[in-house]
């Protein structure tokens, strides 16, 4: 149990140090004048985090090693040679177990911490110059989800969409990211566009994409994207998860682009704020109900309903047992117990 407590204390210290060291970089990102500056600051942030992690592990290792030497040479200097041999052996076992568990614990935490995770630093212009094939996802930024705990909070899941695109087509789902975000939302790969020319770069993404999925929103930028869809309409798929917003979009774009009516049987009386009934339509302009099942995502994209299953998505997201927090916790307890048993054995 001693090893486990030490690791938790060290990681708590590391988390505090990390948060303090992040602050100036986060401030720079938030105050960045343009997307290029923001991306450079993000790269600096990532590099600084990695450097801090390596230095922290080195400091902890040296500190533990010094403590062991002091304990053997100074504190127990009057002990017999047999006792010192025993103490050196136990200390060595403890030290190795501690370092191994610390590295495992920190590695796990890094991969599952939104501040050390999949932060994107890719410019849309650079991505467009590559030979990548992709499906484009356009939406309002308020639909982004940053944690598995929030999955299900929204009617349409970008995370599920990205998994269906990956498993069903072998392609990547791409989305335009918020320039100054410091963590990456769940779902598609984030690409960043320059504010002054965002329309040109988004339209280039639209032209190059294999398919385009719109989550309809009545924000001005989303209205522009829907309006531009008329130039690439054959590969567009529109998702309606808010009938009020869809009604607003239809009124604003009337005469510019013809969007289908809501089926009469489903109109009823629209609420003044939010109506959760969901539909999707493609270039045939036929409204179809969307229930949020994985099979609906498949059919919406033109796949067979069983091309990707919920069980298959869960299996891909499921971590190996040896990377789960509970298993790591058990490893720590087992290591502590093993050291105690070794000490008892020598005694």
Reported pTM: 0.75
Highest-pLDDT range among 26-40, 67-81, 138-152, 209-223: 209-223
pLDDT, tens digit, 9 for 90 and up, residues 274-309:
556 789 999 999 999 898 889 999 999 999 999 998
Highest-pLDDT range among 34-48, 206-220, 316-330: 206-220
In-domain check, residue 314: no
Q: How confident is the model at residue 108 (pLDDT cuts 50, 70, 90)?
A: low
In-domain check, residue 48: yes
Question: Read out DSSP for 293-343?
Answer: -HHHHHHHTTS-TTSS-HHHHHHHHPPPGGGSHHHHHHHHHHHHHHHHHHH
Q: Over the chain, what is the mean pLDDT?
A: 80
**Burial class, 219, CB count within 10 angstroms (exposed 0-12 / middle 13-18 / buried 19+):** middle
Indicate if 170 and 303 belong to the same structural domain. yes
Q: How many domains does the chain fold into? A: 2
Lowest mean pLDDT among 10-24, 143-157, 173-187, 279-293: 143-157
Q: CATH no. for residue 228?
A: 3.40.50
pLDDT of res. 346:
55
Indicate if 32 and 52 belong to the same structural domain. yes
| Domain region containing 215 | 124-308
**Burial class, 294, CB count within 10 angstroms (exposed 0-12 / middle 13-18 / buried 19+):** buried
Give the 3-state secondary structure of residue 76: coil
pLDDT of res. 292:
86
pLDDT of res. 206:
96
191 half-sphere exposure, CB direction, 13 A CA radius: 26
pLDDT of res. 276:
62
pLDDT of res. 275:
55
Q: How far is CA 275 from the centre of its chain?
A: 28
What are residue 135's DSSP bridge partners?
A: 173
In-domain check, residue 192: yes
**Burial class, 239, CB count within 10 angstroms (exposed 0-12 / middle 13-18 / buried 19+):** buried
Indicate if 103 and 37 belong to the same structural domain. yes
Residue 21: φ, ψ to 5°: -75, -25
Indicate if 53 and 70 belong to the same structural domain. yes
Helix (H) or strand (E) run with residue 190 in it: strand 189-191
Indicate if 169 and 131 belong to the same structural domain. yes
In-domain check, residue 35: yes
Highest-pLDDT range among 12-21, 125-134, 214-223, 307-316: 214-223
CA–CA separation, 18 vs 52, rounded Å?
7
Residue 231, pLDDT above cutoff 90: yes
Lowest mean pLDDT among 26-30, 65-69, 211-215: 65-69
């Amino acid at each position: 149990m001693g090893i486990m407590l030490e690791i938790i204390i060290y990681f708590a210290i590391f988390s505090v140090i990390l948060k303090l060291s992040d602050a100036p970089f986060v401030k720079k990102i938030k105050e960045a004048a343009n997307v290029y500056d923001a991306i450079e600051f993000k790269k600096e942030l990532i590099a600084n985090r990695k450097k801090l992690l390596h230095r922290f592990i080195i400091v902890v290792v040296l500190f533990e090693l010094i403590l062991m030497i002091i304990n053997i040479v100074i504190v127990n200097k009057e002990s017999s040679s047999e006792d010192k041999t025993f103490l050196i052996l136990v200390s060595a076992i403890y030290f190795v177990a501690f370092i191994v568990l610390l590295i495992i614990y920190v590695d796990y935490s890094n991969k599952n911490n939104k501040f050390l995770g999949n932060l994107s630093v890719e410019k849309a212009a650079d991505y467009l110059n590559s030979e990548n094939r992709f499906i484009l996802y356009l939406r309002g930024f308020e639909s982004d989800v940053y944690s598995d705990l929030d999955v299900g909070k929204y009617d349409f899941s970008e995370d599920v969409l990205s998994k269906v695109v990956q498993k069903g087509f072998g392609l990547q789902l791409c989305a335009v990211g918020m320039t100054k975000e410091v963590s990456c939302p769940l779902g598609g790969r984030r690409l960043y566009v320059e504010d002054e020319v965002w329309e040109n770069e988004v339209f280039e993404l639209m032209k190059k994409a294999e398919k385009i999925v719109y989550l309809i929103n009545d924000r001005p930028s989303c209205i522009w994207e829907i309006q531009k869809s008329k130039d690439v309409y054959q590969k567009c798929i529109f998702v309606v998860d808010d009938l009020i917003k869809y009604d607003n979009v239809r009124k604003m774009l009337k005469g510019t682009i013809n969007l289908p009516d809501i089926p009469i049987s489903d109109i009823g009386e629209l609420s003044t704020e939010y109506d959760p009934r969901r539909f999707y339509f493609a270039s045939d302009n036929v409204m179809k109900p969307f229930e949020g099942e994985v099979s609906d995502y498949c059919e919406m994209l033109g796949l067979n309903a069983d091309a990707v299953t919920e069980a298959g998505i869960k299996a891909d997201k499921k971590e190996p047992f040896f990377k789960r927090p509970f298993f790591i916790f058990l490893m720590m307890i087992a290591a502590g117990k093993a050291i105690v048993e070794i000490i008892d054995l020598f005694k």
